[in-house]
Each structure stands twice: as structure tokens, then as C-alpha cells.
Amino acid sequence: MNIVIVGLGYVGLANALFFNGHHNVVGYDVDDKKRSLIRQKICPITDASLVDAFNKSLSTLNVVDNPETSYQTANIIIIATPTDYSTSNCGLDISSVESTIKDILKVNQTAEIIIRSTLPLGTTDKFIEQFKFKRIAFIPEFLREGSAFSDTLRPDRLVIGACEEDQPLLKSLFLNSLGKACPIILTTPKEAEAIKLFANSYLAMRIAFFNELDNLANANGLNSNKLIEAIGLDSRIGNGYNNPSFGFSGYCLPKDIKQLTHDFGEVPHVLLSSITKSNEERINYIVSLIMEKHPQVVGIYRLTMKAGSDNMRQAVISEVMKLLEKQNVNLIIYEPLIKETHYQGHKVINDLQVFIAQASLIVANRSDDLIKSAKEKLFTRDIFHTDK
């Protein structure tokens, strides 16, 4: 088939690599630099599994500067454009998805349009009604930063939200490229949208739960490690997403829980509405613990959200830094991904030993082997040294 991928971020690039080799794939992104890097055979995203898959790709991914011609001959068009949360609208910004559908239907009214961008509840049905076009499906992705391609290739499940007539085609499309068999759930688009939002909101809730456990353990001199280990041995609870952190962050969880809360409207949702508040309180509590140590110079160890990712913009450590700035704390940064000498007004020191020597306290949302030598200066709540 001829497949066009619109949006080459984590989701779009993972999908492009997933289908490339099985089908004729064309990618498009509004970012000129991203398209240029792909043409130079350089992966535009720092994600361990994406970089590996990109480098192993047997054929160069074809990208275009204008997708209109590719739309005309496409059988499948996958939309993976960003839908960031808009505080002014109290919901996800779906304008990029809407405008893409509009552009597609100007030149092609037979292709299957698959949306993989996260959407507010009921959005796909609204698009179907708005454009008078039934072949719009919502197939949520459940990938993690740092393992975007491997999660696309070997998902835990595949949820296909589409009209009944199109479900067999879409099921076959993905099954032929999957690296392993997985459960397949056939739903309406609205049900698929709900599954995506509830899944991420549950993960956010679980992170918030174990962070609150860590709050109480820390305040009472309890061993968080032993508490979490014992609780996780209950098979009904398990060991996933139980490692304390400064709070949940990233592209997905914060915006998805806000969107789901908004979608509830007047329907009772006390538990869900408290998750974001819990996360905010956790960040404030972490900063209070740091301030209790009266550090002269706080060293911020790594700005990325998690290992194997280059996402710094939505990382929780940025929120911690903002609160420390308000306390007029002197900050220095260790982040190898930053090549400049300063970042947001703070000195960047990428000689690790110099960084350790100059910091009176080192703050790390996630610790690793490199920073172990600074154990006596290290402040972290990372128990299991894992991102999940």
C-alpha cells in the first residue's frame, strides 16, 4: 500500500519505520530541519529504540516537502501531529489534526485516515460528521519515550477504533507488520479515545500513589524500598510504575489526565480530578526537602525526562528548577545534550567531576552509575533506578 505519515515526532517516526519495508511509505513534517536530517540519514529524535531502528532501516525513509501529491495516491494516511494541552481552551489543541484532514480530503476521498494523535473524547465522530467522511479511524498509540519503536513493533495490545466495514483492513494492516502477536480490541472511535485517556490517567495515578507513599515514608523515617517491594509482591498490584520520582511528566501523562478530567464535565470524578493536584503537591514537597538542606549551590543532574530520551521541555526537573529559582537558589546544570555554556540563565558544566566539585547538593530525578561517586551530595527519591 501507499502510506503517508503526517508528523514525524515520536509517534509518527515510529510508525514510518514500522511500515517502511512492508509498504511504500512517505513521511511529512512541517519542521524543515527534521526533514533535512532524515534525508541525511540522521535520526531527528534522540530516542534509543528509534535511533537503532532508523540506523538499521534497509531503505532510506522517503520524506517530502509538500504532501499533497502523496495524498492523491495514498491508500492509508496516518496523522501523528502534536495535540498539546491548551490552558486557554481547557483541552487538547486538535487544530493540526483538523487542518490535515481538510487538506487530505481536498485531493483524496477514498483513502483510510488513521489518527494516532491523542484526542478529546468524541473528536473522531465530530470529524466524521464535519467532513461527511466515514473512513476516519482512531488507533491510539501506547509507546514510551526511549522505547518508541520497540513499543510500536511489539505492543501490549492494539486498539482499533473504526467503523465495522474498515476494521478488517486496519487489523490486517497492523498485523502484517507487528513483531509479535498481541490482543486486538475492535471498538468505536469514541471508545478508543477513552481507552487512551484512561490508560495514561491510570499510569499517572499510579505514579502519584507511590510518590505519596514516599512522602509519608520520608516524613516518618520508613524505608520506602521495603514498603514498595512488599506491596508490589501482591499479584493484583505488581511492580510497574512504582519507582518514586519528583512527579510524573513528559508529553503524554500530564496533558491526558487534564483532558480526561475536562471530558468528565459534571460527571463525578473525585479520584481523577485529584491526580494533577497530587503531582503538584509532590513537586512542592520535593522542593521543600531540598530547601531544608540550605544548599549554597544546587547542581541539577540531567534535564531529560528519562533515559534514552532528549525531552527536556516537559520534564519534571524543569518544574523543580522553576520553584528553586523563586527561592533565589544558585543553580548549575549537568546535561551533556546541551552544548552551550548556559541554559535559561544557569551555568552548564559538562565536566562531571567539576560539576560535582562545585555543587554543594546534587538534585537528580533519576540517578545512574555516573553520579554514584557523588553519593554524599546526592538528593534523589529514585529507589529502583528505572524510569517506570
Spatial distance between the Cα atoms of 204 and 247, rounded to a whole number of angstroms: 9
Is position 163 annotated as part of the catalytic site? no
Backbone angles phi and psi of 353, in degrees to 5:
-70, -35
Q: 7 exposed, middle or buried (CB, 10 Å; 0-12, 13-18, 19+)? A: buried
Spatial distance between the Cα atoms of 257 and 274, rounded to a whole number of angstroms: 10
Candidates 43, 163, 182, 252; catalytic one: 252
Alpha-helix residue ranges (DSSP H) falling in the chain:
10-19, 32-39, 48-56, 68-72, 95-107, 123-131, 148-153, 167-175, 189-219, 224-232, 253-264, 270-292, 316-326, 352-358
Which residue, among 179, 329, 309, has the nearest Cα to 251 in the 3D structure?
309
What nine digits make up the cell of 151? 513499543
Q: For residues 234 and 373, is the Cβ–Cβ distance under 8 A?
A: no
Cα separation of the two ends of the chain: 36
Which residue, among 327, 334, 335, 341, has the nearest Cα to 295 in the 3D structure?
327
Spatial distance between the Cα atoms of 12 and 151, rounded to a whole number of angstroms: 13
Q: For residues 149 and 14, is the Cβ–Cβ distance under 8 A?
A: yes
Q: For residues 320 and 353, is the Cβ–Cβ distance under 8 A?
A: no
Q: For residues 355 and 345, is the Cβ–Cβ distance under 8 A?
A: no
Neighbours of 321 (CB within 10 A): 22
DSSP 8-state secondary structure symbol assigned to residue 4? E
User: What letters, b where the CB count within 10 A reaches 16 and e where it falls short, cover 257-290?
Assistant: bbbbbbbeeeeeeeebeebbebbebbbebbbeeb
Active site residues: 252
